[in-house]
Structure 1
Amino acid sequence: MQNIENKTAYITGAAKGIGFGIAEALVKNGVKVAISGRDKQALEKAHQILGEQNVLVLESDVRNFDNEVKAVQQIVSKFGKLDIVIANAGVGKFAPIDEMALEDWNTMIDTNLTGAFHTLKATAAQLKENKGYYISIASLAGANFFAKGAAYNASKFGLVGFTQAAMLDLRDYDVKCTTIMPGSVASNFNGHTPSEDDKWKIQPSDIGQMIVDLLKMNPNVLPSKIEVRPTKTK
């Protein structure tokens, strides 16, 4: 198994939910972690829980490529390198296609799809130099369409295709790329507040452990696309 201790990871959208669960799992395994998002207060709260040591907090909007370039510069300045990138930032707004607001469509495509591209483009040089790992957090909505989900489906179908194509572009540089497609997760997505009613769902810590397992896997093996569901339906 690969040793991930003292590796450096960058996680977008990591103040809450899945991103925070991933950050927590990586910190517990000795990884130096940079977390980013747009909510300064939520990021500071996450920082307090994760601890001050070997955690860097960055305000960055993945829709802005220059923000992501600056974030990478700050990570390398503090930790000296970047090995692992988790493109997790995402939003969801749902409506019939004829009622979908242009602003909501653009926000989802710009965040869920173009944002993941910005993150990878900004980090690709570091990943190639350090033979790193890029992981995008997609969704089962990237394979299963549903009513009122046209914009969200489009962004997640696109993210799955983007990550798989990037995998082919980068694997000869010894850079791994994986997309994880979770089903129902007990997260803060779309303004939801997790409660006891969410105990049947995948937990953010489960996704965190999955990523730790991927990073530790034999380097000859690449699970490039992973679908993950709750064991039960409530």
Structure 2
Amino acid sequence: MSKVILITGASSGIGAACARHAVKAGHKVALAARSLDKLNDLTEELGDDNALAIECDVTYPDQQKAMFDKAVEHFGQIDVVFANAGLGASAKGTENGDVENFKEMILVNNYGVTVTAKHAIPHLKKSGGHLILTGSKAGHINIDGSVYGATKWFIRGYADNLAAELSGTGARVTNINPGMVDTPFFDEEKPDALRPDDIARAFIYAIEQPSHVEIPSIQIYPK
């Protein structure tokens, strides 16, 4: 059954790979990110009938509301929301880190996700849909002084809290926790890391499960 999927952080990396796999599987995608040029290129690749580009900075609630409104206006409904937008650390640890980077990571990785979830819930309760959050292996282990890791511990707990809130509504929540993935997130290639397509396959697996199946989390690490 074809689904309408809204993906934040969709201009590259995991988000773009999930969009490609989703369209290949017969779904429609609303693609949101700050980089409209990249989104337009991806939409052109996927086809205007299958994809919609929406410029959005997830740290601004008014932009997120407009994002949801545009997606519904274009496709008629939303069945899956993938809160994937995220930001990494500019330096390791707390002592060596930059406080402005701390602020931006928390705004994008945590605050932005809560805003996405708030706007998503009414649509997903209506459609019996699925909320997917991008967590990380960093939310399952301790990394010395890592503010980034702490933002992913937040996602781990928040996903469980959302699942409790949506219990009995027909909507589901899944937290996908990748290990290191070779994406533009890093400044140099990571040959031993996962590839975005690895995460995309897990994403498609989760959203295509029948309604009686719930997958609270998926851990996917490099071997």
TM-score by structure 2 length? 0.94
Measured in 2, the distance between the counterparts of 1:66 and 1:116 equals: 14
The DSSP-based 3-state class of the residue aligned with 1:10 is strand
Query: How big is each residue's C-alpha offset from its partner over 1:117-161, in whole Å with a ceiling of 9 and x where there is no partner?
Result: 111111111111111000001100011121352x10111000111
Measured in 2, the distance between the counterparts of 1:169 and 1:185 equals: 30
Mapped contact 1:9–1:34 kept (Cα < 8 A): yes
Mapped contact 2:180–2:221 kept (Cα < 8 A): yes
Show the counterpart of 2:212.
220
Q: Please, what is the CA RMSD of the aligned residues?
A: 1.4
- More RCO (CA 8 Å, sep 6+): 1
Show the counterpart of 1:140.
137
Q: Which runs of 5+ in 1 are unaligned?
A: none
Show the counterpart of 2:173.
177
Is 2:200 aligned against 1:208? yes
The DSSP-based 3-state class of the residue aligned with 1:56 is strand
Q: Which runs of 5+ in 2 are unaligned?
A: none
Give the residue type in structure 1 aligned to 2:62: D
- Tell me: CA distance 1:148–1:45, structure 2 relative to 1, closer, same or farther (3 Å): farther
- Tell me: CA distance 1:24–1:76, structure 2 relative to 1, closer, same or farther (3 Å): same
- Tell me: CA distance 1:206–1:95, structure 2 relative to 1, closer, same or farther (3 Å): closer
Q: Which moved more, 1:96-105 or 1:54-63?
A: 96-105
Measured in 1, the distance between the counterparts of 2:210 and 2:124 equals: 18
Show the counterpart of 1:42.
38
Mapped contact 1:43–1:57 kept (Cα < 8 A): yes
Is 2:216 aligned against 1:229? no
Write out the 4+ residue segments of structure 1 that deviate beyond 4 Å after TM superposition.
Answer: none
Measured in 2, the distance between the counterparts of 1:95 and 1:186 equals: 18
The DSSP-based 3-state class of the residue aligned with 1:49 is helix
Mapped contact 1:65–1:122 kept (Cα < 8 A): no
Show the counterpart of 1:75.
71
